């Protein structure tokens, strides 16, 4: 390979960056799920485009900005899991794409409770 050899421009799709960010987010302990907003669901139905749930990205030639909408597990310190999420997503996107991630914004939209957790005095109504 020759140094300084330039055959053209490499452009990484927004969808690729969104997929990488979404997978890195879901691998972060404490994250229950990604949250798709109402406008995202509407955009998916109208355009037919496969929009990455809970992830919005802006990708330039050298940099990327990422917005995440998440649901965390109940009992997990939200600040800690959000900071770890930012680190994980930034590292994954930078390592896989070579883009400089200038910001990872996190919006916590919900808390997930374990479905099988019921208080002892409340028996199951149906079996």
Topology of domain 15-112, CATH = Alpha-Beta Plaits (3.30.70)
How confident is the model over 100-118, as a mean pLDDT?
85
List the chain domain ranges: 15-112
Between 99 and 51, the higher pLDDT residue: 99
pLDDT tens digits, residue range 40-55?
444 444 444 334 689 9
Asked if 35 and 70 count as a contact pair (C-beta separation under 8 A), the reply is yes
Question: If we measure between CA atoms, which residue out of 69, 80, 87, 79 comes closest to residue 32?
Answer: 69
pLDDT on residue 9:
84
| pTM recorded for the entire structure | 0.75
Length of the chain: 127
| Structural contact between residues 63 and 100, judged by C-beta atoms closer than 8 angstroms | yes
The helix, strand and coil proportions of the chain, stated in percent and rounded to the nearest 5, come to 35, 25, 40
Task: Kindly state the percentage of the chain with pLDDT values over 90.
Answer: 64
27: confidence class by pLDDT, cuts 50, 70, 90: very high
Cβ-based burial of 45 (10 A; exposed 0-12, middle 13-18, buried ≥19): exposed
């Amino acid at each position: 390979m020759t140094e300084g050899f330039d055959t053209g421009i490499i452009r990484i799709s927004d969808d690729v960056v969104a997929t990488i960010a979404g997978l890195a987010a879901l691998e972060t302990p404490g994250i229950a799920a990604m949250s798709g907003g109402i406008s995202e669901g509407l955009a998916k139905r109208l355009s037919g485009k496969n929009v990455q749930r809970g992830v919005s990205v802006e990708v330039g030639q050298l940099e990327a900005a990422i917005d995440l909408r998440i649901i965390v597990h109940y009992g997990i310190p939200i600040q800690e899991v959000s900071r770890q999420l930012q680190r994980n997503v930034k590292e994954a996107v930078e390592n896989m794409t070579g883009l400089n991630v200038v910001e990872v914004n996190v919006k916590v939209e919900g808390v997930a409770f374990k479905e099988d957790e019921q208080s002892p005095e409340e028996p199951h109504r149906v079996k």
